[in-house]
Chains A and B, each alone.
Chain A
Amino acid sequence: MELQTLTFIVVGITFSIYIGIAFWARAGTTSEFYVAGGGIHPIANGMATAADWMSAASFISMAGLIAFYGYGGSVFLMGWTGGYVLLAMLLAPYLRKYGKFTVPEFIGDRFYSKVARIVAVICLIVASVTYVIGQMKGIGVAFSRFLEVSYELGLLIGMGIVFIYAVIGGMKGITYTQIAQYCVLIFAYTIPAIFISLNLTGNPIPQLGLGSMLAGTDTYLLDRLDQVVTELGFAEYTTLSRLGTFNTFVYTLSLMIGTAGLPHVIIRFFTVTKVSDARVSAGWALIFITILYTTAPAVAAMARLNLHETISPTNGANLVYDERPDWFKNWEKTGLLKFEDLNGDGRISYTADKATNEMVKVDKDIMVLANPEIARLPNWVIALVAAGGLAAALSTAAGLLLAIASSISHDLLKGVFRPDINEKQELLASRISMAGAIALAGYFGFNPPDFAAGTVALAFGLAASSIFPVLMMGIFSKRINKEGAIAGMVAGLSITLLYVFQHKGIMFVASTSYLGDMKPNWFMGIEPNAFGAVGAVVNFSVAYVVSMMTPEPPEHIQHMVEDIRVPSGASSAHSH
């Protein structure tokens, strides 16, 4: 069957499933809208969390980053999984025990301050909106590349689908669609990986194939890859360190802390029945994530090897441009691959040296998107990859939108401005906030701001420097008071924003950067994307010092802290 038709069919089927779930899982109460009624099974929540977590960036971009950064790409693998260890031990069980609907609500109660709650809402919205812009772009791009509809129409269709199940179903609808989306995306990611690993090494398990010998030879795949790339003048794949050990260390730490502090991930743990379920559920989430994250390095290395072997075969001359394969032509059309015949010999020369390299553009995203075609897999696999990319982007967008909507309707409206509204009015307000959040995200999708490329990294920096430290201190210290918490959040957030802006420009407008984005200008050699961990240290220190200089929290707050530290007496999440 024609690829185009097949893609429409596969994507159409998955979308009908999502809409079907939306009508089946309608939310009738605020508890259902905010925390899916609080009765989600830990394994189901683990799966939903994995889909919530793995965005278009994980699905499409991560393997490509690893393919070109080699060992240097490890920061994303360790950083985006190691955070779940922190989440499972330091935050999720205690926040579940507290049993409220939103992250700012805990911060407001623990630090007995509406100001703290509002500051937390601001941190949450800034982090989540910057994150959701990337997802919206991902949806539009996936549509335009695979279904050849325009970017705008693709974005509108995506927004329409999210609108249906997020506005009607709230967290309940989102949870069940995320479970379906996880199945689609993990299937779409692993099937091509299995085929490619089998082709190259004879081992169907990509994680083992990566450590195996190439089929029919006695050379290990990774050794061959190292040899191929170094012969072309690129850095050795398995030892390439992007910006040195210290920066790698701090970057990994920032991603871990940021992961644990992202509100749309934390609120997923409010949907399980018990404290012990929250702990186990974090484990399941991590298993479901690790399946993709340990496959990604195999996809990366194998795709990179396939790419070089196609263009510059070991035994023989470089590929003749006129004999290039179909996938090459297809991706040239999208502008993601670009060839210029510099020496006029009609053959493609792909090297590290800018003077002789004729592959003037090789977009990193191609590694996942074109992988099935490069490996000559059947058309239905390619169609599946399209559906998987869309599932990854939609599931993350929906989770983020819920975090934004609930912080507006529950924290700002019900919590601060109109505490007298009843549940029915709040439910309506939450649906309206959700619709508003989708419209806002859509607006940024249609008019991507200059800073779209830098936004996901910024979201991690903000979550790491503002939300994670204040939650952790709220649980592990009885002494941190409202003055300390507010000062800590403001200090952590400001210093991180300041650092990013001074190197990348105010709101990422490059001309306003007053310190160039280059290593000699970085504080201790730390790149701006990796600065969240430093912001977190500042947050912890400021909060500690300010708390010590001001009165300790009232008695009932100290009791509250003692109470959240033990599981007994938990009830499902509620509003009062």
Chain B
Amino acid sequence: MAEYNKEKRQAYWRENVRLMVILLSIWFVISYLCGIVFVEELNTIRLGGYKLGFWFAQQGSMYGFVAIVFTYAHLMAKLDRKYDLHE
């Protein structure tokens, strides 16, 4: 039982880390890449009155962060139940 429990916990942790890596990649892309590194290239595209790179830096990245955190909370709640490790 204890052994099974240990494997289960490890599988849960691996899935958690995988989810984190995916979400942190998105976090990196919308802020560091779209808002900083490729800002000039994106600024050639317009989003209404916004230059796109500027929009990512001063608006879009923050909306993305909110979405990332809620996505993580939601998927982790599902993962907790899948492995029966919820509170």
Map CB proximity to B onto A82-110 as digits: 1 under 8 Å, 0 otherwise: 10110011100100000000000000000
Q: Is the CB of B50 within 8 A of A249?
A: no
Given A211-B50, A283-B66, CB of A89 within 8 Å of CB of B58: no
Which A255-309 residues have a C-beta within 8 angstroms of B? 274-276, 279-280, 282-283, 286-287, 290, 293-294, 297
Q: Is the CB of B80 within 8 A of A567?
A: yes
Q: Is the CB of A290 within 8 A of B55?
A: no
A238 to B53, CA, bound (A): 9
Which B42-67 residues have a C-beta within 8 angstroms of A? 43, 47-51, 54-55, 57-59, 61-63, 65-66
Q: Is the CB of A283 within 8 A of B12?
A: no
Q: Is the CB of B31 within 8 A of A252?
A: yes
Give every chain B residue within 8 A of A297 (Cβ-Cβ).
58-59
Q: How far is the CB of A182 from chain B (nearest CB, A)?
A: 16
Q: Is the CB of A294 within 8 A of B48?
A: no
Question: Which of B12, B49, B86 has most chain A Cβ within 10 Å?
Answer: B49
**A213 touches which of B27, B36, B49 (Cβ 8 Å):** B49
**B86 touches which of A74, A84, A276, A286 (Cβ 8 Å):** A276
Give every chain B residue within 8 A of A210 (Cβ-Cβ).
49-50, 59
Stretch at the interface among A216-224, A332-340, A389-397, A534-542: A216-224
Map CB proximity to B onto A544-576 as digits: 1 under 8 Å, 0 otherwise: 000000000000000000100111111000000
Map CB proximity to B onto A212-255 as digits: 1 under 8 Å, 0 otherwise: 11000000111100000000000000110000010011001100
Given A82-B31, A249-B36, A283-B69, CB of A276 within 8 Å of CB of B77: yes
Give every chain B residue within 8 A of A7 (Cβ-Cβ).
none
Question: Which of B36, B40, B47, B50 has most chain A Cβ within 10 Å?
Answer: B36
Given A71-B54, A74-B57, A249-B37, CB of A279 within 8 Å of CB of B32: no
- In the assembled complex, A81 has its CB within 8 A of some CB on chain B: yes
Q: Is the CB of A239 within 8 A of B43?
A: yes
Given A207-B59, A279-B73, A286-B65, CB of A82 within 8 Å of CB of B27: yes
Q: Is the CB of B49 within 8 A of A211?
A: yes
Contact surface of B with A, Cβ cutoff 8 Å: 6, 9, 12-13, 16, 20, 23-24, 27, 31-32, 35-37, 39-40, 43, 47-51, 54-55, 57-59, 61-63, 65-66, 68-70, 72-73, 76-77, 80, 84-87
Given A293-B62, A568-B87, CB of A286 within 8 Å of CB of B69: yes
Give every chain B residue within 8 A of A320 (Cβ-Cβ).
none
Give every chain A residue within 8 A of B23 (Cβ-Cβ).
85, 89
A286 to B67, CA, bound (A): 10
**A286 touches which of B24, B66, B87 (Cβ 8 Å):** B66
Q: Is the CB of B36 within 8 A of A238?
A: no
Give every chain A residue within 8 A of B77 (Cβ-Cβ).
276, 279
Q: Is the CB of B63 within 8 A of A294?
A: yes
Contact surface of A with B, Cβ cutoff 8 Å: 66, 71, 73-74, 77-78, 81-82, 84-85, 88-90, 93, 207, 210-213, 220-223, 238-239, 245, 248-249, 252-253, 274-276, 279-280, 282-283, 286-287, 290, 293-294, 297, 562, 565-570
A565 to B11, CA, bound (A): 12
**A248 touches which of B36, B63, B72 (Cβ 8 Å):** B36
Q: How far is the CB of A489 from chain B (nearest CB, A)?
A: 24
A283 to B70, CA, bound (A): 6
Q: Is the CB of B12 within 8 A of A566?
A: yes
A514 to B18, CA, bound (A): 46
A567 to B78, CA, bound (A): 12
A210 to B49, CA, bound (A): 7
Q: How far is the CB of A237 from chain B (nearest CB, A)?
A: 9
A293 to B54, CA, bound (A): 15
A304 to B86, CA, bound (A): 51
**B48 touches which of A220, A275, A569 (Cβ 8 Å):** A220
Q: How far is the CB of B76 from chain A (nearest CB, A)?
A: 6
Q: How far is the CB of B64 from chain A (nearest CB, A)?
A: 9
When C-beta atoms are compared, the residue in chain A nearest to B46 turns out to be A220
When C-beta atoms are compared, the residue in chain B nearest to A253 turns out to be B32
Given A82-B65, A290-B62, CB of A276 within 8 Å of CB of B72: no
Give every chain B residue within 8 A of A274 (Cβ-Cβ).
87
Give every chain A residue within 8 A of B69 (Cβ-Cβ).
84-85, 88-89, 279, 282-283, 286
Question: Which of B54, B59, B65, B70 has most chain A Cβ within 10 Å?
Answer: B65
Known: A222-B54, A568-B85. 17 other contacts (CB 8 A): A74-B35, A74-B54, A78-B35, A93-B76, A211-B55, A212-B49, A239-B40, A239-B43, A276-B76, A279-B69, A279-B72, A279-B77, A282-B69, A290-B66, A566-B9, A566-B85, A568-B86
A426 to B8, CA, bound (A): 40
Give every chain B residue within 8 A of A238 (Cβ-Cβ).
43, 51, 54
When C-beta atoms are compared, the residue in chain B nearest to A563 turns out to be B9
Q: How far is the CB of A433 from chain B (nearest CB, A)?
A: 32
Given A89-B23, A89-B72, A248-B36, CB of A77 within 8 Å of CB of B85: no
A212 to B50, CA, bound (A): 8
A82 to B39, CA, bound (A): 17
Of the A-B pairs whose beta carbons lie under 8 Å apart in the complex, a sample of 26, sorted by A's number, is: A74-B54, A74-B57, A82-B61, A82-B65, A85-B24, A85-B27, A88-B72, A212-B48, A220-B48, A222-B50, A245-B36, A245-B37, A252-B31, A252-B36, A253-B32, A276-B73, A279-B77, A283-B73, A286-B65, A287-B66, A290-B63, A294-B63, A566-B85, A567-B87, A568-B80, A570-B87
A287 to B64, CA, bound (A): 11
Q: Is the CB of A222 within 8 A of B49?
A: yes
